[in-house]
Structure 1
Amino acid sequence: MNNKLLWTLLAGVLLKFTNVECVVGGHTSMPGAAPYVVSVQNPTHICGGVLVANNWVLTTVSCVQGRSNLKVLVGSHRLLTNMARVGVSSIILNPQYSATSGINNVALLKLSQPVTSAPVQINSATVTTGLPTAFYGWGSLNYGSASKSNELQTLYQKTVSAADCAKKLQKNGGLATGFICAHIQPGQAACSKDQGGPLIDVSSGKLLGIYDHGILCSGSFPDVFTNIAAFKTWIETTIASN
């Protein structure tokens, strides 16, 4: 087979697998790819979350504050499933959360019973620019859309350190303390209802952040994530005391 024909065939295969409708430029996750990812529901999907212990889920305050009767879907990459949802027995908000500035946007949900899915390990190292990451979520496929993806989506990005991200977002309000960012290119970004979804270091498999916000789901600017390393102590002491 000559080289020209080989590259033509390879290009066709790549187009087949990249031309997929998904979370603003991502792709559908393989079942079981991220067993620690959960859907927080009231009564349907409202945001993402991540297992940090067998009966604890980490998500954002802004997603769950003021809500009751929350349930969590664990162990399914599809939202439309007959799998039983797990009840939430306690909602613990970070007491230093500020609705004005958005800082300290982390909350813990205690499940009514332990689950068998493996929790994620939490990163404790400083996040530098350029680390390959995977983000997971069921959020909207397009900016302004009320719909969400039935199947869990994966978006590969690279980290942007807090200092570097602050420069990139300088004309858009900057970056508050306690956040990191991830970015790849225009047309690829997290979106609404992705809030609380995990950003995972591909190399270590550890949790770097949970999605907080972005700009118009455009991918023209970095997505902003709560830097979980900054809250590792709060997460561990809260779980231990409850």
Structure 2
Amino acid sequence: MSVQTMCLALTFCATIFLGAVVECIVYVKNGREANLGDFPWQVSIRDLSPSVHECGGVIISKSWVLTTGTCLKGVVNPLISTGTIDILNPGIVYEVGLIRNHPDYQQYSNSNDIALLKTRFDINFNDFTKSIPLTDDPVSAYNKGDLAGWGLDHYEAALYSKYLRMTEMTVMDSEVCRSLFSQKNVPLGGDQFCAGSAITGACRGDEGGGFVSRRQNSDEILLVGLISDNFCSLNNFPTAFTDVYFHREWIRNITGI
């Protein structure tokens, strides 16, 4: 018996009954725990009071962090924690001096889901805290990439993952992806792409984290996308990302990188 379902945007997650309940499968459950330095550009975005993990972000320069509007929806006074594996024991924490949401961010159509945070003081770079360059090439179907986060390990879970977890996913053909989303009456922005895996994906608390891939014929790792919403993957349903290439000029005009 074949059944398709998903949990998506905190509003829908079907349970499947095949004589028993089948749980949502999300990447934090099946990804591996990251080691310090595996994702040196990854940050935990936290709220000032109390200082707890809310979502993810990516270091793109000594003073700028890239994330999503979805990530910042519930964050009043964001803090940025760098060099962090265990979110209960954050690394160096920086205050944010400037927030720039995309002016055309549309929450309900998932368009322009991207934002920038500028730290009050420069981020201290070392082996475990570094920036990542933006891709200069459009995303290509069937390319592989990695993502990481501290999100829920199950859509009904009460706590985020204590440790940063990471996994590999494959970029999907855009038409196939849009067809899947349309079947669920979920809009997919024109600046979004999808990646999928048989048993992995992203869930609440992972928003804003990076999807990264190696440059062709090179060891250089580039930022390709940002986890765009509260997607919990089940039965191969893809995760949607904000396309960094699509927004590269907006990012560079503000940050100067």
TM-score if structure 2 supplies the norm length? 0.80
Q: CA deviation at 1:191?
A: 0.6
Which structure's relative contact order is higher, taking Cα pairs within 8 Å and 6+ residues apart?
A: 2
Amino acid at match of 1:88: V
- Cα distance change, pair 134–86 in 1 and its aligned pair in 2 (3 A): same
Unaligned runs of 5+ in 2: 1-25
Amino acid at match of 1:64: L
Question: Partners of 2:45 and 2:74 in 1: how far apart?
Answer: 14
The match for 1:93 among 64, 76, 101 is 101
Q: Deviations over 1:189-218 (max 9, x none)?
A: 111100001001145411110001365432
Amino acid at match of 1:227: D
Please say if residues 112 and 189 of structure 2, whose CA atoms lie closer than 8 Å, have aligned partners that are also in contact.
no
Amino acid at match of 1:188: T
Please say if residues 141 and 172 of structure 2, whose CA atoms lie closer than 8 Å, have aligned partners that are also in contact.
yes
Residue of structure 1 in register with 2:45 after alignment: 40
Q: CA deviation at 1:22?
A: 6.8
Residue of structure 2 in register with 1:76 after alignment: 84
Residue of structure 2 in register with 1:218 after alignment: 234
Matched ranges for 1:5-154 at <5 A: 23-42=28-47, 43-65=51-73, 67-81=75-89, 83-115=91-123, 116=125, 117-154=129-166
Question: Partners of 1:170 and 1:182 in 2: how far apart?
Answer: 16
- Cα distance change, pair 32–179 in 1 and its aligned pair in 2 (3 A): same
- Cα distance change, pair 237–46 in 1 and its aligned pair in 2 (3 A): same
Bigger shift: residues 117-126 or 190-199: 117-126
Residue of structure 1 in register with 2:223 after alignment: 207
- Cα distance change, pair 82–110 in 1 and its aligned pair in 2 (3 A): closer
Residue of structure 2 in register with 1:18 after alignment: none
Q: CA deviation at 1:66?
A: 6.5
Residue of structure 2 in register with 1:178 after alignment: 191
Q: Which has the higher helix share?
A: 1
- Cα distance change, pair 113–46 in 1 and its aligned pair in 2 (3 A): same
Q: CA deviation at 1:219?
A: 5.1
Q: CA deviation at 1:146?
A: 2.6
Residue of structure 1 in register with 2:178 after alignment: 166
- Is 1:237 paired with 2:242? no
Question: Partners of 2:182 and 2:90 in 1: how far apart?
Answer: 46
Amino acid at match of 1:33: D
Query: Secondary structure at 1:234's aligned position in 2?
Result: helix
- Cα distance change, pair 66–137 in 1 and its aligned pair in 2 (3 A): closer
The percent of aligned pairs where both chains have the same amino acid is: 25
Question: Partners of 1:140 and 1:219 in 2: how far apart?
Answer: 17
Question: Partners of 2:157 and 2:203 in 1: how far apart?
Answer: 9
Q: CA deviation at 1:67?
A: 3.6
CA RMSD of superposed structures (Å): 2.0
Q: CA deviation at 1:87?
A: 0.5
Question: Partners of 2:61 and 2:206 in 1: how far apart?
Answer: 21
Q: CA deviation at 1:229?
A: 0.4
- Cα distance change, pair 216–35 in 1 and its aligned pair in 2 (3 A): closer
Report how many aligned residue pairs link the two structures: 220
- Cα distance change, pair 180–22 in 1 and its aligned pair in 2 (3 A): closer
- Cα distance change, pair 89–152 in 1 and its aligned pair in 2 (3 A): same
Amino acid at match of 2:87: L
- Cα distance change, pair 190–66 in 1 and its aligned pair in 2 (3 A): closer
TM-score if structure 1 supplies the norm length? 0.84
